[in-house]
Structures are given as C-alpha cells and as structure tokens.
Amino acid sequence: MSYNSIYKQDLFAGQTMIVTGGGSGIGRCCAHELAHLGAHVVLVGRSEEKLVKVQAEISEDGGSADWFSCDIRDEDAVKATIKAIVAKHGVVRGLLNNAGGQFPAPLAAISKNGFETVVRSNLVGGFLFAREVYNQCMVKNGGSIVNIIADMWGGMPGMGHSGAARAGMENFTQTASFEWGQSGVRVNAIAPGWIMSSGMDTYEGAAKAMLPMLADNVPLKRMGTESEISGAVAFLFSEASAFVSGATLRIDGAASQGNRIWPLPKAKNNEAYNGFHRATVPEAFK
C-alpha cells in the first residue's frame, strides 16, 4: 500500500520540506503525502517517540524523512534547529507550520498561564519557525510557507485562547506574504474545520461527547479527512499556486458559512477523499 495522492509522484522530487507537528494527526498525513511526492521531509516536534515512528512509516513506504526534536516556543531552540536543518539539507523549499495545541475551556475559566501557553503554541511558535526559515534560507532562495490555523470565524466558544491565536496567525500570514514576497516567498494559511484526526482523541468529558454530533452542523453532513487537508497543502507548495499568496483556504465543508436559523437538510452527492493508506478512525467515532 502507498499514499493515493491525486498529484504526480515526482512533484516535489529533490526538495526539502519541513513539517512541524509531524508526529501525529494532520501533520503526519501531510508528511506522508509530501514524501510520496518525492520530497525529503523533515519532521519536527517535541515527542521523539512519535517522530521516530512516522519516520519509520515513511521509510517503509519508500519515502525519505528525518526528524529534529524541538519546542517551537523556544526561540533559541528554533534558531538552532533551522540552522542544523539548513546545514544538513541545504535549501528548504517548503515549511508547513502545523504544530500547536489547545484545551477546551470557557474564557472565564482560562488562567493567564493557560491563555499564554496556547498563544505561544499556536501563534508565537509558528512565527518563530517562519521567521527563521525565511532569514536563514528563503530570503535568498524563495519558497512556500503554509500555516495551519482553524475555523475561528464567529469566535471559538469553548476555545477562545486558540481562536485568538489562530486569528493572529492569519494576520501574520497576510503581513508575511506582503513583506516576503520580494524574496519569492509565498505565505498562505489553511483553516481546517472538523477533521477526523487523532487530535480529537485528546479531548475528554463533555468535549469528547460532543464530537459525534459535529457532522450535523456541516452542510455536507460529514467530517473532513486528513487527506483533504494534505491535498490542499500540496497544492500550495506546488507551482500551480505560484500566484497564490496571503490567502486563507477554509476546508470545513462550508460549516463556517450561513447561520443557525437556516436549516441544514440531509446532504447528498459528496464523498470524502481519503488517500492516506495509514489513516485511522479516532476512538471517539468508533
């Protein structure tokens, strides 16, 4: 079995691409597809165990990958990690800023430390990685940066800290695309909606109980797949998107549109795309 990508297999042959948060979920899927398309993928994350496992999977499937353990919130660690990657692999053509994390809680119950931790994970860390990749490599060679944010339009009740950080990341995307365009660097964002990913297994209690009901609030009446995010990432890294920069692509089945008054009837004529041969169903949906 191998990844069933819709793109030609040598699309990224000879290119080095970094995937933060590559040890699980959407990052893992994207790493697999990029490697299948010929890229050498550099996996970055905090858990060495997860990174080693994904590297082994990619190697077993015939792809090329290595990994670096790094806390994206640590500025010195980020600088050192990018320096090491550039020294080892040379030009970095793509950066997928995917690492992040949050916990469910109403605003009134979020502590200052909790709010700052989520903002550092979902905004500051992405900024640091993008800045260092730009300064240490892309300013001279060009490239593409894709930031994974979230469906935060209309606020994110229950995750206000994450919504604030993701909104900031979208604005960073717009500013960076304008400032760095002169170097041939494109910066875009992808805002996933409700995706069937292993990240959903981190939720407990009321948040976990709510997961099976999410699809009813999507006009397409289903959840998205990791592959539907990965396919968009590959497009934004490809030459086909050479004039796309500063954009945010919502991949949410139109869940961020409309309002609560308009009823959502049963959906038809849409099937999920799942090209990831190693995809698994989150425990909450089994």
Summarize pLDDT for 124-166 with one digit per residue, the tens. Answer: 999 999 999 999 999 999 999 999 999 999 899 988 999 999 9
What predicted TM-score, i.e. pTM, was given to this entire model?
0.93
CA-based nearest residue to 100, from 36, 41, 150: 150
Q: What are the sequence ranges of the domains in the chain?
A: 16-270+278-285
Question: Using CA atoms, how far apart are residues 36 and 138, in angstroms rounded to an integer?
Answer: 23
Summarize pLDDT for 163-200 with one digit per residue, the tens. Answer: 999 999 999 999 999 999 999 999 999 999 999 987 77
Question: Using CA atoms, how far apart are residues 31 and 56, in angstroms rounded to an integer?
Answer: 12
Q: Could you tell me where the beta strands, DSSP code E, fall in 143-244?
A: 143-148, 185-192, 195-196, 224-225
Instruction: Say which amino acid occupies 92.
Output: V
In CATH, what number does 16-270+278-285 get? 3.40.50.720
In percent, the amount of the chain with pLDDT more than 70 equals 99
Torsion of CA 226, 232, 234, 236, to 10 degrees: -150
Mapped onto helix, strand or coil, the DSSP state of residue 142 is: coil
Mapped onto helix, strand or coil, the DSSP state of residue 35 is: helix
> Do the beta carbons of residue 190 and residue 146 sit within 8 Å?
yes
